[in-house]
Amino acid sequence: MFASDKMKGASFMYFDWTILLMLPGLLLGLWAQARVNSAYAKYSQVGTRSGVSAETAVSQLLRQNGAGDVAIQATSGQLTDHYDPTSNTLRLSQGVYGSSSIAALGIAAHEAGHALQKAQNYPFLALRSLMVPVVNFGSKLSWPIFLAGILFSFEPLMYVGIIAFALVVLFSLVTLPVEFDASRRAVAMLNAGGFLTQEEETGVRKVLSAAALTYVASFVSALLQLLRLVAILNRRRR
């Protein structure tokens, strides 16, 4: 009985409370993803009155805005849509490419917004692109380096791990204006091109707002992870 009580006490003493810092980010991420799934499920079933497919619409929008050299390709998967600035290629998922739904046009126009950002040298997109190699290093090695510092009781390594992960947080922060601006451009282009009614614009905004929330959740999660690393370092220094 006493041994059991001691074990319980030891478990309580060594409970890593810093993991609780991750809970708000986790909950926000789950809520954001649920909103994306809900908005996409709803508006992917609602067609636009124009009846124009996402691929046709985005091709016209890019030409009208001086980015007609962007290649447009179909890609596998759901919600795998993205713009690749290195190859100047816009890839639309199977459920978006040939669809004329409100969700499809909103998503495709958002990616076209990224293509216009590159064509117009949008500074935050350029900064994010420059950060990618460094951030890849930080996201993969920050924790191993930090844990190595703990294992060998070598505080400088812990600092290196924290700095590496701080770059990941900075990348997430820089991503926010990039995504918000792309969504703003998407709505403006679709309206200017006459692809949406006022009611359909509301649907597009809901889809894009839900998607934007996932980037906010990613930033919050990364920031809380950074705070956790700092908390662990401070706890070991006492």
Mean pLDDT, consecutive 10-residue stretches, the chain (238 aa), reads: 43 66 92 96 95 96 94 94 94 96 97 96 94 90 93 92 96 98 97 94 97 96 95 82
Distance CA 181, CA 183 (A): 5
Q: How far apart are CA 103 and CA 190, in angstroms?
A: 12
pLDDT for 19 = 85
* Type of residue numbered 200: E
Q: What is the pLDDT, as a whole number, of residue 90?
A: 97
Run of H or E including 71? strand 71-75
- Would you tell me how many other CB atoms lie within 10 Å of the CB of residue 77? 10
Q: Which two tokens stand for residue 14?
A: 């060594």
Q: Is the four-CA dihedral 186, 188, 192, 198 of positive or negative sign?
A: positive
207 close to 109: Cβ distance less than 8 angstroms: no
Please report, for residues 12, 22, 218, 231, the alpha-carbon distance to residue 16 in angstroms, rounded to integers and kept in the order given.
9, 12, 23, 10
Q: What is the pLDDT of residue 49?
A: 95
**Opening angle at CA 111, ends 140 and 201, nearest 5:** 130
Whether 111 is a known active-site residue: answer yes
- Cβ 48 vs Cβ 200: under 8 Å: yes
pLDDT at 131: 94
Q: What per-residue confidence (pLDDT) applies to 15?
A: 64
- Name the catalytic one among 111, 155, 199, 200: 111
Q: Are 134 and 217 in contact (CB under 8 A)?
A: no
d(CA 99, CA 95): 6
**Using the 8-state DSSP alphabet, how is residue 188 labeled?**
H
* Nearest CA-CA partner of 215 in 144, 142, 114, 105: 114
pLDDT at 65: 93
